[in-house]
Chains A and B, each alone.
Chain A
Amino acid sequence: QQQVKQSPQSLIVQKGGISIINCAYENTAFDYFPWYQQFPGKGPALLIAIRPDVSEKKEGRFTISFNKSAKQFSLHIMDSQPGDSATYFCAARDNYGQNFVFGPGTRLSVLP
């Protein structure tokens, strides 16, 4: 029940295209859903996050869509750029423990 599922495992997109990564969870105690971006040799960096009382959040080219009833959320990267090539992790935090459960990651490659 603590697991966060993420798909696809890897994604190849042409420059200017839309990248879509999906996540699903079971634990209804999760209250905060961030996405992290990780480049090789670096720690994860917070990209964008959403709470379950909001269905969509947009920051620049990055949008999170959240479906509370389906317990699913997704990351959309518009106008994908080669510099977006990285591994993306969705995560969820339970409202009691304040610790995070991460998905297994999606390796995104944006071709020039």
Chain B
Amino acid sequence: DAGVTQSPTHLIKTRGQQVTLRCSPKSGHDTVSWYQQALGQGPQFIFQYYEEEERQRGNFPDRFSGHQFPNYSSELNVNALLLGDSALYLCASSPVLTSTDTQYFGPGTRLTVL
């Protein structure tokens, strides 16, 4: 049973560019959350998707947007990249919206903004 998968593994962009990160949840999971983990810090909640809608959002600007597809996979889009957006972006999935106890994280996408 494949766990949470994310692509790409690493990505290098320059300031002002746009980036799209992808996530496939664990089989049987329909809720996807995205986190940003800056170097040496804990993950920070960006937003959560369920039934193709954004359900919760953390303290991130509108430059961060997402999407969930009918097969529960998800994308994270970041526009107008800033140097401070350099981080590990983690995707986490859980079985149902109201049961995030069993939240599984993917390996992350390392984004470097030059």
Residues of chain A whose beta carbon lies under 8 Å from any beta carbon of chain B: 4, 6, 32, 34, 36, 41-46, 49, 89, 91, 93, 97-105
Contacts and interface: CB of A to CB of B under 8 A. Distances in A.
B41 interface: yes
A102 B42 contact: yes
A43 B42 CA distance: 11
Interface size class of B (residues with CB under 8 A): 20 to 34
B16 interface: no
A107 to B, nearest CB: 9
B40 interface: yes
A43 B102 contact: no
Contact of A42 (B40, B92, B107): B107
A49 B90 CA distance: 20
Contacts of A97: 56
Interface stretch (B43-51, B61-69, B70-78): B43-51
Contacts of B101: 32, 34, 49
B98 A43 contact: no
